[in-house]
Chain A
């Protein structure tokens, strides 16, 4: 079985400052990990993915995430926040093919960006 914990339900930053959204996972298998973004009143959209290739993965809109197996973490970062980054972000872990529901979503982190 797998699980994912997003350590902060809300994060507030000022425009132009770095963003850090934290995610820890648990999996019995070598997981694939993803970040999704949900803008207000919209559906979820894939932001980036880790699938056992490079441990530092780049996504859309300047976001990056680093897979750290020793820390079971997959934190999302961006060097400089923009007002348009204000949204909810979900960390997602996938398990084995025979694990039933194979994508497990975290509880979400709401990012607020102050002018």
Chain B
């Protein structure tokens, strides 16, 4: 399997622009997670889905952030409008049921976002 695939790997944009990050989970996985990593705040869970349904979005910073999972093989994280403080590495991870026991989250390589 190719693993979790994220795109783009790097994105540089200007404040106010819309940013869309994409994720393809591992086939057969029924959980999908979006994390954000910064030096100041470490790794933060933004939202997670189970069988394409958002379960907990309490980590989404504000209404500028939205996430969708239209089908089992694709998810997006959108920021509109973007701000410099959104600069971070955004990770997507997928897993099977029971990840809370096995600890097995499979992470993509991340999308590094820079907002100027």
Contact = CB atoms under 8 A, between A and B. Distances in A.
Interface of A: 32, 34, 41-46, 49, 51, 90, 92, 94-95, 97, 100-103, 105, 107-108
A34 B103 contact: yes
A41 B110 CA distance: 8
Interface stretch (B11-19, B42-50, B69-77, B79-87): B42-50
Contact of A107 (B42, B99, B107): B42
B102 A41 contact: no
A94 to B, nearest CB: 5
Contacts of B56: 100-101
Contacts of A103: 45, 99-100, 103, 105
Interface residues of B, number: 21
13 contacts: A32-B101, A41-B110, A43-B91, A43-B107, A43-B108, A45-B107, A92-B103, A94-B103, A97-B100, A101-B45, A101-B56, A102-B100, A103-B103
Contacts of B104: 46, 49
Contacts of A34: 103
A90 B109 CA distance: 16
B102 A108 contact: no
A46 B4 contact: no
Contacts of B45: 101, 103
Given A100-B56, A103-B99, A103-B100, A41 B109 contact: yes
Nearest to B104: A46
B22 to A, nearest CB: 15
A103 B43 CA distance: 12
Nearest to A100: B56
Nearest to B3: A43
Contacts of A97: 100
A27 B42 CA distance: 21
Given A100-B56, A105-B43, A51 B109 contact: no
A43 B34 CA distance: 12
